[in-house]
Amino acid sequence: MHYGEDDCPVSVAYDFPNDDELHFGIEMLDFFKAKDVSDDLGVVKKVINEGLGWESPREPYEVTAWISAETGDGKLILSYMEGEPYFFTIGKSEVLKSLEMGIGTMACGEKAVVYVNSQYLTQSPLIPVIEGLEEVHFEVQLVHFIQAIQRRKNLNLLKLSMRRVSGRRLCHDSDST
């Protein structure tokens, strides 16, 4: 069944050219690599610049990232693109869970836009007011991430090295110098 044929449920004007061939022109406006993070198109990540390596942050990684957010209609609601990048720990509800999901698929240095629809918008210290928002676009550049446990180990090693260099022994230091 085709438009303009006798059995088509949509009526056409009497002077419709039934026997003519129709041609449509289609212009592709944008094409990009995207990942459906939530498996239902509620959280989608569009890659702007690929990152390095294969590892991605997960709980309990500490993450440093440049983050900005705007509503679906382009109104800026958050900008951590100037000054210092935003620092948070995955799994501690410091950012929206949906943003954690998107960042959890990124490699170090990657820049992406994470599209989050209203179903996945949750309150967090990053964006405390979410009422009335239908969609938020987060532009994220993942600067650095490290496992929180590894960071503590590195700090402890640094403290131990500093104690040995200074020759001091702290009261809670059980290591003999």
pLDDT digits (tens, 9 = 90+) for 33-73: 789 999 999 999 999 999 999 999 999 899 999 999 999 89
Three-state DSSP state, 163: helix
Q: What are phi and psi of 34, to 5 degrees?
A: -135, 155
The CATH number assigned to the domain holding 130 equals: 3.10.50.40
- How open is the CA angle 112-115-117, to the nearest 5 degrees? 165
Whether 133 shows a pLDDT value over 50: the answer reads: yes
> 29 lies in a domain?
no
> 50 lies in a domain?
yes
How many domains in the chain? 1
- Give the pLDDT band of residue 170 (cuts 50, 70, 90): very low
Looking at residue 150, what is its pLDDT? Answer: 59
> 114 lies in a domain?
yes
Q: What is the pTM assigned to this prediction?
A: 0.68
Q: What sign has the CA pseudo-torsion 72, 79, 37, 47?
A: positive
Residue 92: give the domain boundaries: 34-148
- Contact at 8 Å (CB) between 140 and 44? no
